[in-house]
């Protein structure tokens, strides 16, 4: 038995593969975008079947980046946790920059929590002052003391500041340029992270003008 709202998934995929088309109906021609918008409203409380997810993935894996991006955006806005999670994961691990960037935006819009992990073994504390900074941030340490971490959440994207601010704060936590992330708004800190092929943001974090240390945020477990 097909679940209500799933009946048109196969049609969605065929339309995506064919490109933008018009759907004839009582209200007149309906574009592909209109159709996806209507389907989005139905998905919030629906259960997604394995075969339906496979149909979406066929389009995501297609060679037409524009169609993949449109279906990915539909999945992200569908209201279905399963579709949203799969779209994020697919985009973060994709080799195509546009899909990677779209996934990063969606992940940041979700607000976290994000956990930045800091390698404390690469340089002495008197050169990095990173332990001092972590203590000031009220961060934590691994059992062996070799890794520091700080967990934070973000507010929705601030169009004026062009960043995701710390939740409840005025400073930018994350700024995005293509698939590179800047930590330029951190109080007393700064850094840059790039998305690698494993879905991990990797780069460095620096306290004031001290020596930067390796840092990362794991986005795909």
For every residue of 178-191, DSSP letters joined together read: TTEEE-TTSTTEEE
The predicted pLDDT at position 45 comes to: 44
pLDDT of residue 50: 54
- In a domain, residue 3? The reply is no
Percent of the chain scored above 70 by pLDDT?
76
What was the pLDDT predicted at 206? 97
pLDDT score recorded for residue 12: 46
Average pLDDT over residues 130-154: 97
181 pLDDT higher than 60:
yes
Beta-bridge partner residues of 216: 117, 202
Phi, psi of 44 (to 5 degrees): -55, -40
The reply to whether 118 and 105 lie within a common domain is no
In a domain, 1, yes or no: no
Considering the chain, what is the average pLDDT of its residues? 82
Amino acid 22: pLDDT = 39
Q: How confident is the model at residue 48 (pLDDT cuts 50, 70, 90)?
A: low
Classify residue 145 by burial, with Cβ atoms within 10 Å: 0-12, 13-18, 19+. exposed
Decide if pLDDT at 123 tops 60. yes
Tell me which residue of 50, 78, 62 sits closest to 15, measured CA to CA: 62
Residues 93 and 153 in one domain: no
> Given this model, what pLDDT does residue 221 score?
79
pLDDT at 99 over 70: yes
Same domain flag for 120 and 181: yes
175 Cβ contact list (under 8 Å, min separation 6): 162, 163, 164, 181, 182, 183, 184, 185
Is 95 exposed, middle or buried (CB count within 10 Å of its CB: 0-12, 13-18, 19+)? exposed
Among 17-21, 37-41, 59-63, 73-77, the range with the most confident prediction by mean pLDDT is 73-77
Q: Which domain holds residue 62?
A: 9-110
Which three-class secondary structure state does DSSP give residue 218?
strand
Rounded-to-integer distance, Cα 197 and Cα 158, Å? 28
Query: Distance between CA atoms of 199 and 101, rounded to whole angstroms?
Result: 12
Check whether residue 103 and residue 121 sit in a common domain.
no
| pLDDT of 59 higher than 60 | yes
User: Does 103 share its domain with 148?
Assistant: no
17: CB partners within 8 A, 6+ apart: 58, 59, 62, 67
Tell me, what's the pLDDT at 9? 42
- If asked whether residues 59 and 80 sit together in one domain, one would say yes
Percent of the chain topping pLDDT 90: 60
Q: How many C-beta neighbours within 10 Å does residue 85 have?
A: 12
Q: Which of 86, 110, 134 is the last residue of a domain?
A: 110
What's the confidence (pLDDT) of residue 26?
Answer: 38
**183-212 pLDDT tens trace:** 999 999 999 999 999 999 999 999 999 999
Q: Are residues 141 and 125 in the same domain?
A: yes
Contact 40, 78 (CB under 8 A): yes
More confident residue, 43 or 58: 58
| Structure-model confidence comparison of residues 215 and 17, the more confident one | 215
**Of 62, 88, 110, which closes a domain?**
110
5: left (phi over 0), alpha (psi -120 to 50) or beta: left
Q: pLDDT category, 49, cuts 50, 70, 90? A: low
What are the strands, taking DSSP E only, across 27-91?
Answer: 30-31
Do residues 62 and 155 share a domain? no
Quick: pLDDT tens for 20-42.
Answer: 333 334 344 455 466 455 555 55
């Amino acid at each position: 038995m097909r679940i209500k709202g799933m009946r048109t998934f196969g049609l969605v995929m065929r339309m995506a593969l064919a490109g933008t088309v018009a759907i004839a109906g009582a209200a007149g021609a309906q574009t592909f975008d209109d159709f996806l918008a209507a389907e989005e409203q139905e998905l919030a409380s629906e259960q997604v079947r394995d075969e339906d997810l496979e149909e979406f993935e066929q389009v995501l894996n297609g060679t037409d980046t524009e169609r993949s991006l449109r279906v990915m955006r539909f999945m992200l806005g569908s209201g279905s946790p399963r579709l949203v999670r799969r779209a994020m994961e697919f985009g973060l691990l994709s080799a195509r920059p546009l899909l990677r960037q779209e996934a990063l935006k969606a992940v940041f819009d979700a607000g976290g929590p994000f956990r930045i992990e800091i390698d404390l073994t690469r340089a002495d504390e008197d050169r990095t002052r990173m332990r001092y900074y972590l203590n000031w941030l009220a961060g934590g340490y691994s059992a062996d003391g070799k890794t520091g971490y700080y967990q934070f959440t973000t507010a929705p994207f601030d169009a004026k500041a062009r960043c995701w601010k710390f939740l409840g704060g005025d400073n930018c936590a994350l700024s995005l340029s293509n698939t590179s992330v800047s930590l330029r708004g951190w109080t007393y800190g700064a850094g840059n992270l790039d998305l690698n092929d494993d879905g991990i943001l990797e780069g460095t974090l620096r306290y004031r003008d001290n020596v930067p240390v390796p840092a990362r945020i794991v986005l795909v477990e």
